[in-house]
Amino acid sequence: MNNFKYISENTIRHISLHDCCCTRMYWDESLLIFELEWMEVMSSHPDNPYEKAHQSGTGRIVLKDAVIKSGELVKGDYRIPIDTLSEIKGFDILTFDEIIGNGEFELSLFGDSVSEPEAEFIEMKVGYSSSKVMFNELGGVSWFESDNFCNPDQ
């Protein structure tokens, strides 16, 4: 798990995962692990030396002492509960929001187009004691920081 160049603790608020692909979400005892194709690392992240957000390559987020508060896959009219035995692959993240209160962390996740098990949506709320964000090099400027996105008329 330590094969990443940059590993930071409790820095989820300094990344954006909107439209990022989670290739695999799985459990390792009390750890909930998200493997990602890429992440948007905000300029405020301690491992981003740039003035703008930049896209990483593959990355990982690990939630320690994770407890599912609610979680389900939605497929038509069916709702499939998510538990600590669940392994979910290939979904696009639409929201990945962290709430911090009284020294506790909670993650609210919503995604779509789940590949395995096949579902239309994934929804979860997870409590945890701490998190780690891991990635290697930063690539280009994030799409939402690009000149074309910021100034579409130019």
> pLDDT, tens digit, for every residue of 88-99?
999 999 999 999
Q: CA angle, 79 as apex, 66 and 106 as ends, to 5°?
A: 25
Residue 26 lies in a domain: yes
In a domain, 1, yes or no: no
58 domain residue, yes or no: yes
Structure tokens at 117: 């098990």
Q: Say how many domains are in the chain.
A: 1
Angstrom distance (rounded) from CA 114 to CA 123: 11
Question: Which pTM does this prediction carry?
Answer: 0.91
- State which residues form the domain around 81: 6-150
Strands laid side by side in the 78-81 sheet: 6-9, 130-135, 59-64, 31-36, 21-28, 88-101, 104-114, 119-128, 67-75, 78-81
Q: Where are the beta strands (DSSP E) in 50-144?
A: 54-56, 59-64, 67-75, 78-81, 88-101, 104-114, 119-128, 130-135, 138-141
Residue 108 lies in a domain: yes
pLDDT for the residue numbered 153: 53
Q: How confident is the model at residue 147 (pLDDT cuts 50, 70, 90)?
A: low
Closest residue by Cα to residue 61 from 135, 127, 142, 129: 135
Name the band, by pLDDT with cuts 50, 70 and 90, for residue 40: very high
Q: Is residue 120 part of a domain?
A: yes
pLDDT of residue 150: 47
Give the pLDDT band (50/70/90) at residue 87: very high
